Amino acid sequence: MKKLIPITVITLALFLNSCGLKEVVGPNAEGGTTNSDSYQPVTKNSTWKYSIQVSGETALQTANITMTGDNKNINGTVFFKALETSGTDSSVGYFGRSGSTYFSYSDDDGYAVPYLDDTKAAGDTYKQPVVDPAAPSYVTAQYLLTILEKNITKTIGGKTYNNVIHTRSELQYSTNTSPFQTVDMSEYYVAKGIGLIEVDAFIGTTLIAKQTITSYNIK
């Protein structure tokens, strides 16, 4: 299946590249434990389990993320390696933080994607220039990150999460003759001490996929 959006979250990217659904699961959260106060814990052996629903599909797929304890420096920022598995498939991605901005990274894309700044207020924005190796030289790319809501509660699968920040990250392109325009967009719900609890992916204003947490164990 053709990739519909850039890899902004490891699990979502793997699913959109998958050619079939492998497992049907229920929507109810299984709970979890945490020893962290970070908005994206990266401690070794921390795990998250997600359910992914694609628009038009009745079946759900599970995806599991485990922090490996490995890291690498990417343009001056330390990124921590995460292994994602779904059925018999697996992929690798990275989570990193520069100052108060949190990023995900995939070698497939070759650039970091901002999804959270925990110091900004609701309504604030953040712009991150992007060097897209696949774009022509006359095209300029950036991510526009907007803090939509802050310190909210979010209920997923019957479980309520506190200290949640809701953001929107838009990949935008401009040319010599046109201003920046959004080509794809994802919204993130990030809970303090847990990390990503929901990711909604859009094409235009149409929701195409929803990734929601079902369990976690933060070391």
Of all residues in the chain, what percent carry a pLDDT higher than 90? 59
pLDDT at 136: 87
Task: Kindly state whether residue 59 falls inside one of the protein's structural domains.
Answer: yes
| pLDDT band at 31; cut points 50, 70, 90 | low
State the average pLDDT over residues 16-32.
46
Q: Which pLDDT value is given to residue 118?
A: 95
The owner of tokens 């901005």 is 101
For residue 2, tell me if it sits in a domain.
Answer: no
Give, rounded to a whole angstrom, the gap between the first and last alpha carbons of the chain.
35
> 148 with 154: CB under 8 angstroms?
no
The least confident of 9-13, 42-46, 197-201 is 9-13
pLDDT range class, residue 204, cuts 50, 70, 90:
confident
**pLDDT value of position 15:** 44
pLDDT in tens, 129-164: 988 888 888 999 999 999 999 999 999 999 999 999
At 9 the three-state DSSP class reads coil
pLDDT score, position 120: 97
Residue 70 CA to residue 72 CA, distance in Å, equals: 7
Mean pLDDT check: name the lowest of 19-28, 142-151, 158-167, 201-210: 19-28
For 77, 97, 107, 155, 157, the CA distances from 8, given in Å and listed in that order, are: 17, 15, 11, 23, 23
**Secondary structure element (H or E) that encloses residue 129, with its range:** strand 125-130
Place of tokens 């999460």: 161
What is the CATH classification number for the domain harbouring 114? Answer: 2.40.360
Q: Give me the pLDDT at residue 100, please.
A: 94
Mean pLDDT computed over every residue of the chain: 84
pTM of the model: 0.86
Measured CA distances, 147 to 115, 118, 122, 123 (Å): 9, 9, 5, 5
Mean pLDDT of 22-48: 72
Instruction: Please state the domain count of the chain.
Output: 1
Spatial CA neighbour of 15 closest among 66, 79, 67, 87: 87
Is 4 contained in some domain?
A: no
Is residue 1 one of the residues assigned to a domain? no
Domain holding 151, by residue range, is: 10-217
Cα gap 204→164, rounded to integer Å:
25
User: Is the pLDDT confidence value at 10 over 80?
Assistant: no
3 in a domain, yes or no?
no
For 74-93, write each residue's pLDDT tens digit.
989 999 999 988 877 888 89
